[in-house]
Structure 1
Amino acid sequence: MSSPERISILGVLAILLATVLLVVGGNLWKTNLKVRNVTVRGNVNVESNQLLQLAGIPKNTPLYDVDLTHVQRNVSSHYFIRRATVERDLPSGIRITVEERTPIAIVAAEKSVYLDEEGVVLPSTVSRMIYDLPVVSGIPSAEVLTPGTVVANPDMQEALLLLSVLKQANREMFHRVSEVRLRNGGDIVLYSAEWGVPIIFGRGNIADKVARLEMFWTEEVVERGAQRLQYIDLRYDDQVVARWADEMSVGRKM
């Protein structure tokens, strides 16, 4: 065997040996990494301790023995968690990032529950927050509201869409609504937090009605006072019909 061939073989062997040493060393390094801390981000409604308990990662567990998918599934089982991601945070951490479900309405029943904008039923007992939310009333007695399920009633779905559009358009106006009354397929009626003014919302055409309500409340009700207002009717195209104390019903083009 010539010298160049011997050099070439020795070079290949050296590379193989270096590769083996790197792999073995890397595995030894990974084996020595332990979980020292687990952090939770993105949670507002849910206590971090609740999510850490669900994650179930003991300290000093070998970092690469943690099944990230299993932890993700456990954390996502919480009613208020829409989705979760779990990552290793070298050299000694696990990072859990969550996106929560946010209640948009409350149903006052034997056991009060929250509803988010997707209609997911959330228990009122597992959140650390106290919410200022509209109450949805008039729900059929046959409607079962089990935490974790999604409401199927069309009236409830439209009411939640209404509240979602209203909240996105004007949070202040959203908080002016104290109750959303369902009427078994009939017109949806809102009641204001100020003086309990009925707002006959009707059905459909939600974005347009929300815009008209917002404009009318800002330009008329704030100026004249809700205490004199007997009702608002949004069922007519391009106008708001309202009745004030000691006045006939008046329709205003909006």
Structure 2
Amino acid sequence: MERTMAQDPLELFKARPAHLGNRRITPPDATPPGQTQPSPRFDGREWLRNRKTWLIGIGLLIIVSGVIYLWQKFVPLKGIEFTNAQYADLTELRKLIPIVDGQKNMAEVEADSIIILVKKHPWVKDATASKGLNGILEVEITEKIPVLLVLNQDGVPQYYMDENGYPMNWVRGASFDVLPISGNIPRYQPGKKVPNGTLLALAQDIAKLPNQITALIASLELRPDGRIVGRAASINQNIPPRIELGKNRFEDRLLTLKAFWNQSVLPYPQKNIREIDLRWEGQVVTNEQSEQK
């Protein structure tokens, strides 16, 4: 059985051994009451060392900037390369930049001006330009995504249209899941918005809608009186229903069409709907053909 010795209650008040001294030991981070900690001493060598590091860094930056400036001053422009241009024709892009290779130094080529020129192409939404060390100006293209495909009276593609109403030249082999529109369509004028308010509103609203809504429409037509009339996608009928969209508020009307489609068309495939009129403030007026016995 172990025995423990009781601590002497007076042990705390006994004098310390000589080698420890009798003074009170204060932790290094504690400050006695009424006293303030002394401010740290100024280390001149550390300050000079930090300053020297900064000066060396600034000096290197100046040297590198000078080398780049001299390089751009004497290295001629050897060529222009375009990247990410899938549908924008490279030859047409190059023609937009009136700079002949070798006639200007890299320092004389302004990247911002090049971007402004390149964005004049119908397919270019945005661009960035950077100067390569080999004298090549690299231009990275961001292309537009069309929202409508304009057809002529014979159903032949004429041009695409972006969400802002600007025409984009039709490219053979291009494949976009967009709505085709025909009828009283203005001719192709690159760089200018389509001069038709109904088409501009249609393009802007179509761009806001998801594919599952626009997929309800098979085709669109601009009538001479300015109305947009569509033809619905096939619903097991010989003649898909005609859809009256009017002249404006296309986003709201197509959302109404989606709700009506889910509630009154898909559950009743036996219905023979000839016309769906969406021009009546959220209401849907239909023309159905009764089944003949």
- In which range does the TM-score fall when normalised by the shorter chain? 0.5 to 0.7
Distance 2:68 2:144 in 1: 40
1:76 to 1:128, Cα distance in 2 relative to 1, 3 A: farther
Percent identity, please: 20
How far did 1:149 drift? 2.2
| 1:203 corresponds to 2:247 | yes
Which 5+ residue runs of structure 2 have no aligned equivalent? 1-58
1:26 to 1:233, Cα distance in 2 relative to 1, 3 A: closer
Specify which of 158, 161, 166 is matched with residue 115 of structure 1: 161
| 1:136 corresponds to 2:181 | yes
| 1:215 corresponds to 2:259 | yes
Structure showing the higher helix proportion among its residues:
1
Q: How many residues align?
A: 223
- Secondary structure in structure 1 of the residue aligned to 2:248: coil
Quote the residue 1:224 is aligned against. 268
1:99 to 1:92, Cα distance in 2 relative to 1, 3 A: same
Show CA shifts across 1:89-127 (max 9, x none): 6687644233323222222227712222222122213x6
Query: Which structure exhibits the higher relative contact order, with contacts defined as CA atoms closer than 8 Å and separated by 6 or more residues?
Result: 1
Distance 1:225 1:39 in 2: 55
Quote the residue 2:122 is aligned against. 79
Show CA shifts across 1:173-202 (max 9, x none): 213322222223354211123253211122
Distance 2:161 2:270 in 1: 28
Q: Which residue identity is paired with 2:182?
A: S
Q: Does the Cα contact within 8 Å between 1:88 and 1:95 map onto a contact in 2?
A: yes
1:91 to 1:220, Cα distance in 2 relative to 1, 3 A: farther
Distance 1:30 1:124 in 2: 39
Distance 1:53 1:94 in 2: 15
What is the TM-score normalised by the length of structure 1?
A: 0.66
Quote the residue 1:251 is aligned against. none
Q: Does the Cα contact within 8 Å between 1:159 and 1:180 map onto a contact in 2?
A: no
Quote the residue 1:188 is aligned against. 228
Distance 2:83 2:219 in 1: 33
Which 5+ residue runs of structure 1 have no aligned equivalent? 1-17, 248-254
Distance 1:155 1:67 in 2: 39
- Secondary structure in structure 1 of the residue aligned to 2:244: strand
1:93 to 1:219, Cα distance in 2 relative to 1, 3 A: farther
1:221 to 1:211, Cα distance in 2 relative to 1, 3 A: same
- Secondary structure in structure 1 of the residue aligned to 2:181: strand
Structure number with bigger Rg: 2
Matches within 5 A, 1:37-56: 40=82, 43-46=85-88, 51=93
- Secondary structure in structure 1 of the residue aligned to 2:279: coil
- Secondary structure in structure 2 of the residue aligned to 1:213: helix
Q: Does the Cα contact within 8 Å between 2:79 and 2:101 map onto a contact in 1?
A: no
Considering only aligned residues, what root-mean-square deviation do their CA atoms show, in Å?
4.0
